[in-house]
Amino acid sequence: MKRRTVITVGPLLALFGMSAVSHKLLATDAPLKPLDSSQPTAKALSYVDDIADADPAVYDQSSGARCDNCLHYRDTGQSRGGCAIFPGFSVAPQGWCKGWVKKS
């Protein structure tokens, strides 16, 4: 991992990792807005709605990493799910970002 990536993404992951502890953020009755990849946090984490659109220099296609098999993803029973990294927004199950952690 590049030093620049660690310096820019590390603090964001730490900040949003703390919010992941509280699942109440995802359990609200307010509808989740679809995450726009141009949103600052999404841009910093290289979020894409479809892994086919991911930058090959950043995403390893052979890894099988997708939002729907990430620890932070929450199935909402709809076409898009919630994400602890992006509270208040929905993400595509076939999406991906640098915050991906394999679901155990």
Exposure b/e, 17-36, CB count within 10 A at least 16 = b = eeebeeeebbeeeeebeebe
Q: Name the pTM for this structure.
A: 0.72
Percent of the chain residues past pLDDT 90, beyond the cut? 67
> What's the average model confidence in pLDDT over 83-95?
98
Q: Which domains does the chain have, with CATH numbers?
A: 3-91 (4.10.490)
DSSP letters along 54-91, please? S-TTT--GGG---GGGBTTEE--SSSSEEESSSTTEEE
pLDDT beyond 90 at 9: no
pLDDT class for 6, splitting at 50, 70, 90? low
pLDDT class for 56, splitting at 50, 70, 90? very high
